[in-house]
Amino acid sequence: MNTCWQLEYEKLWSRKLQDPINCLAVGKPFLEELIEENDILIGSTAGRVLILNQSKPPEVLMETKGGSIQAMHLYDLTGLRAQDLVVGDSNGVVTMFSRQRFLSKLDVGSPATHICIHEMEAQGYEIIAGSMNGQVTSFHPRELFWTLDIGRESKTAATLGMNRYRAVGIHCILSAILNDRFNNPQRTLLVCDGWPFVHYIQDGKRVQSIRVPTVIQSMATGRFLTTSSARRFRVSSETSRPKHHASTDNVIDENQVLLGGQDGSVYIMVDGEVFELQQ
């Protein structure tokens, strides 16, 4: 018998905005040092990025002069120890700003749906942008690395009985450090679209696809399992086995991935296997 989770929360503060909220980011843009609490950045219509926190009313951080903001990410793009801003809009343009000044932009072909930063093994990073046409694009402020049609990859991986899945837009992208089959931590790029797959992408190529029970809408990485909870999923990884006395219950020292499904369920992916997360 399944048990439903009940979400409880305490309201700390709220603001009523005149602008519609398309996307959110949390951080302190364009500052080298965090001298006060983080701000909430809000992507809105007409290229407007709003900024607010508990102590001051919302104000316009910047106007990108582009379309409606659909995705945002904060990251030190220039190596100057300040949080630069990457925004993707409804016109399919990803624009990068450093110290509130225009840095670079790239047309990804259709409205942006997701932006993340994928850090490379040998230092450096890639900006990864997903779009409504099902493409994922990797680039740097001054260089385009690769573009991959995830919709086509999903159709290639599909089997009989899956023809009802037609949506091609990118739903979510995750850059995470996960253990490979040799139990070595490795920087991994995961992508999900309108098909029930989690795709592993490396250097612009699909290297693996895992079938999941439903279309995935969101992903998060962290250490969610303990040695006892891992046994519930019959995880066979060496790292999931208790390393101490049986009476102890320790957090597993490796990352797992939580998957939010279109069916309303939450799944957990461990060692390439997917399980429904139940209370």
Do 109 and 135 contact (CB within 8 A), yes or no?
A: yes
C-alpha distances out from residue 255 to 20, 173, 271, Å: 35, 16, 10
Cα(67)–Cα(107) distance, integer angstroms: 12
Q: What pLDDT, on a 0 to 100 scale, did the predictor assign at position 142?
A: 92
Strand order of the β-sheet with 125-131 is 112-119, 125-131, 135-140, 143-149
Report the relative pairing of strands 205-211 and 216-222 from DSSP bridges. unpaired
HEC states along 84-110? EEEEEECCCEEEEEECCEEEEEEECCC
Cα(62)–Cα(79) distance, integer angstroms: 22
Q: What pLDDT, on a 0 to 100 scale, did the predictor assign at position 159?
A: 78
Q: What pLDDT, on a 0 to 100 scale, did the predictor assign at position 31?
A: 81
Strand order of the β-sheet with 216-222 is 216-222, 256-261, 266-270, 273-276
What are the structural domains, with CATH classification, of the chain?
A: 23-215 (2.40.128.630)
Residue 164 has pLDDT above 80, yes or no: no
Q: What pLDDT, on a 0 to 100 scale, did the predictor assign at position 245?
A: 42
CA 48-175-168 angle, to 5 degrees, is: 70
Percent of the chain with pLDDT over 90: 59
Q: What is the pLDDT of residues 177-227, one digit of tens each?
A: 998 878 888 999 999 999 999 999 999 999 999 999 999 999 999 998 888
Of the listed ranges 76-85, 112-121, 127-136, 249-258, the least confidently predicted one is: 249-258
Cα(154)–Cα(211) distance, integer angstroms: 10
Phi, psi of 152 (to 5 degrees): -65, -40
Among 142, 145, 125, 201, smallest CA distance to 170 is for: 201
Q: What pLDDT, on a 0 to 100 scale, did the predictor assign at position 198?
A: 97
Cα(164)–Cα(106) distance, integer angstroms: 33
Q: What pLDDT, on a 0 to 100 scale, did the predictor assign at position 243?
A: 44
| Residue 161 or 245, more confident | 161
pLDDT band of 143, cuts 50, 70, 90: very high
Cα(250)–Cα(233) distance, integer angstroms: 16
pLDDT band of 12, cuts 50, 70, 90: confident
Q: What is the pLDDT of residues 234-278, one digit of tens each?
A: 554 444 444 444 556 788 888 999 999 999 999 999 888 899 987
Residue 45 has pLDDT above 70, yes or no: yes
Q: What pLDDT, on a 0 to 100 scale, did the predictor assign at position 239?
A: 46
Q: In whole numbers, what is the pLDDT of the chain averaged over residues?
A: 87
